[in-house]
Amino acid sequence: MDLPGEKLVIKLWETLTEKGLGALLSPWQVGREGRARNEIRRHEILMLAQAEADAADIRSGKKKLRSDGTLLLANTEETASVIDERIEPTLGLCKAVEYGNRSSVAAAARSEINASRAILFAEEELAADGQVPPDRTVDDDWLFAWREQAGKVSNEDLQRMWGSVLAGEVKAPGRYSIRTLEFLKMLSKTEAETISKLARYIIAGSIARNQLKHLESNGVSFSMLMQMQELGVLSGVESIGLSTTYQSALKDRFLRGFISHGKILILEHEDPHKTVDFEIYVLTAVGEQLLELGSFEPDLEYLRLVGREFAGKGFTVKLADWVSTSDTSGRFYNAQDITFGTAAPLM
């Protein structure tokens, strides 16, 4: 019996082997199915740790890589022969070549190790996803661009992020643009943490402008919002926000949902022609793709405050749990009413 993401994992490895990627992990591919995967993954993590230690020894000169691929301890004893008695400055060309070769080998090994770790994170994410693999394959240019950038990242959190990018692209080729990859390669760990902090307050791809007081009390200042705009994650901050008008999703009455990380604000009204204005800061296309890379917990008090704002405009408002069943639909449960005067806590 297949595990939830078995087919997606197979799709991942078919994609990688077809392009000659994941060379360090390829010897283990045959036995990756089913329960054996966890054991194999433990071996791979140990193997990558050893490979990283070997690369560091090559870089420092403690070990040498032979032409057959095996490693030898470097000879620490050097003999010097005196050619003549002249003392002149020299370029030391042989040493320069030796150091250059050593550095190139170590850099190539480190790049392969980094990319392999990101691949393992991608596999981990796909193994828990029961989605049916797509018929389309990942674009060659995109895959090689991903490999180049993932190979440069040594921080585990960022490697996990690059793994999520690969997993998302395997599930839906074309989801992440080359522009997003270019953005990610310039992203620092601090910037990634700031984006994660901001993510809690995203509702339907936007941040509620009228809740700035609550945002600031939770460390999301206006200057941070400006920083995110300068980074290319948000838009509309410099113009003091935007206003978007939403119409009903139904024809016989007003119904509209605003989703935020497993929660949904549901707005209802008897008049199907009624509209709702929402004053917001908007995620850019790159910002939307970035937020797909993580799993975030929403700020429930913030959602209640936004719900009360909608209730003050005459709508019946509920805050509920939300589960997506497709890209365009889902179901809600545990709904609780939010009124303009009070906001009962959602348990």
Check whether residue 111 and residue 206 sit in a common domain. Answer: no
pLDDT for position 186: 87
Check whether residue 138 and residue 215 sit in a common domain. Answer: no
pLDDT for position 248: 94
Q: Does 300 score more than 70 pLDDT? A: yes
> pLDDT tens across 275-287, in order?
999 999 999 999 9
The answer to whether residues 272 and 251 touch, using CB atoms and an 8 Å cutoff, is yes
Check whether residue 169 and residue 222 sit in a common domain. Answer: no
% of the chain exceeding 70 in pLDDT:
71
Check whether residue 129 and residue 24 sit in a common domain. Answer: yes
Q: Does 231 score more than 50 pLDDT? A: yes
Instruction: Note down the domain range covering 59.
Output: 6-73+96-185
pLDDT for position 41: 54
Handedness of CA 163, 229, 196, 327 (dihedral sign): negative
Average pLDDT over the chain, rounded to whole?
79
Between 88 and 101, residue with greater pLDDT? 101
Instruction: Look up tokens 């994410």; give the residue.
Output: 125
The residue among 165, 185, 205 that closes a domain is 185
pLDDT for position 197: 92
Is the residue at 89 inside a domain? Answer: no
% of the chain exceeding 90 in pLDDT:
41
Nearest in space to 258 (alpha carbons), one of 267, 247, 248, 269? 267
The residue among 185, 205, 234 that closes a domain is 185
Check whether residue 164 and residue 216 sit in a common domain. Answer: no
Which tokens in the block code for residue 319?
A: 């805050």
Gap between the Cα atoms of 233 and 195, Å rounded = 8
Q: Does 69 score more than 90 pLDDT? A: no
Whole-Å CA distances, 187 to 149, 178, 200, 233, 241: 11, 14, 19, 11, 25
Is the residue at 209 inside a domain? Answer: yes
Between 62 and 126, residue with greater pLDDT? 126
Phi-psi region of 89 (alpha: psi -120 to 50; beta: other; left: phi over 0): beta
pLDDT for position 226: 93
Check whether residue 102 and residue 233 sit in a common domain. Answer: no
Is the residue at 288 inside a domain? Answer: yes
Q: From the CA atom positions of the chain, what is the Rg in Å?
A: 27
Gap between the Cα atoms of 79 and 160, Å rounded = 47
pLDDT for position 211: 94
Check whether residue 24 and residue 147 sit in a common domain. Answer: yes
Between 219 and 87, residue with greater pLDDT? 219
Q: Does 270 score more than 90 pLDDT? A: yes
Check whether residue 142 and residue 205 sit in a common domain. Answer: no
The structural domain count of the chain equals: 2
Q: Does 14 score more than 60 pLDDT? A: yes
Is the residue at 270 inside a domain? Answer: yes
The answer to whether residues 272 and 315 touch, using CB atoms and an 8 Å cutoff, is no
The residue among 185, 203, 237 that closes a domain is 185
Between 316 and 108, residue with greater pLDDT? 316
Check whether residue 238 and residue 113 sit in a common domain. Answer: no
Q: Say what the alpha-carbon torsion angle 221, 225, 230, 234 is, to the nearest 10 degrees.
A: 170
> pLDDT tens across 160-193, in order?
889 999 999 999 899 999 888 998 888 888 888 8
pLDDT for position 59: 56
Check whether residue 267 and residue 211 sit in a common domain. Answer: yes
Check whether residue 137 and residue 234 sit in a common domain. Answer: no
Which tokens in the block code for residue 321?
A: 């749990």
Check whether residue 249 and residue 206 sit in a common domain. Answer: yes
Greatest C-alpha distance within the chain = 102
Task: Provide DSSP, 270-281.
Answer: S-TT--EEEEEE
